[in-house]
């Protein structure tokens, strides 16, 4: 059956949720406590070991198939505006985000700042120190704007491909 990458991602999340829920249910049902004098059959939770294992294996099989299909799609599908594959884009976007964060901090600094004494309460210094920037804030601001623009374009291009191009998944 044909799915978009976005649909396949949602399917994978649901399969992982189903797997986690079944494991939790198994954990709560695989053994139980009985008080002395209590009828064990009246408190025995419903649990079938073999059918539970079979169900877990089936979900795991589906997870492998969907992950494999997504991995192939991500490694073979090129994002036209950037000329790189989706898996490369999935590396580029965090790199751009990190660069944006760094530039944001740099552009917010004053060209000259008075340093506070590093000694805390135990050290009183009469020396006044200033920290000067070793870069032009205007250059950083310009680079920041470029990174923000490229990041937005990258995210939109990735979303467009993930929501429009299909991949085949046979469960």
Lookup result for tokens 């976007």: 93
Q: Which residue has the higher pLDDT, 118 or 22?
A: 22
Q: Is the pLDDT of residue 117 over 90?
A: no
Mean pLDDT of 165-169: 94
Strands (E), the chain: 2-4, 78-79, 84-85, 112-114, 130-132, 166-168
Residue 127's pLDDT is 87
Q: Is the pLDDT of residue 118 over 90?
A: no
Indicate the domain borders of the chain: 2-107+135-168
Number of residues assigned to the chain? 171
């Amino acid at each position: 059956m044909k799915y978009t990458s976005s649909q396949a991602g949602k399917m994978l999340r649901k399969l992982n949720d189903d797997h986690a829920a079944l494991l939790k249910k198994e954990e709560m049902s695989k053994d139980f406590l009985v008080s002395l004098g209590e009828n064990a059959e009246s408190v025995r939770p419903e649990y079938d070991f073999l059918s539970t294992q079979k169900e877990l294996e089936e979900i795991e099989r589906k997870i492998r198939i969907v992950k494999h299909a997504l991995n192939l799609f991500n490694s073979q599908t090129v994002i036209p505006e950037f000329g790189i594959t989706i898996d490369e884009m999935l590396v580029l976007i965090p790199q751009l985000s990190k660069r944006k964060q760094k530039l944001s901090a740099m552009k917010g600094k004053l060209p000259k700042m008075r340093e506070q004494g590093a000694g805390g309460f135990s050290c009183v210094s009469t020396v006044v120190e200033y920290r000067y920037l070793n870069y032009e804030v205007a250059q950083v601001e310009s680079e920041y704007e470029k990174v923000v623009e490229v990041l937005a374009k990258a995210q939109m291009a990735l979303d467009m491909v993930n929501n429009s191009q299909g991949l085949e998944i046979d469960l």
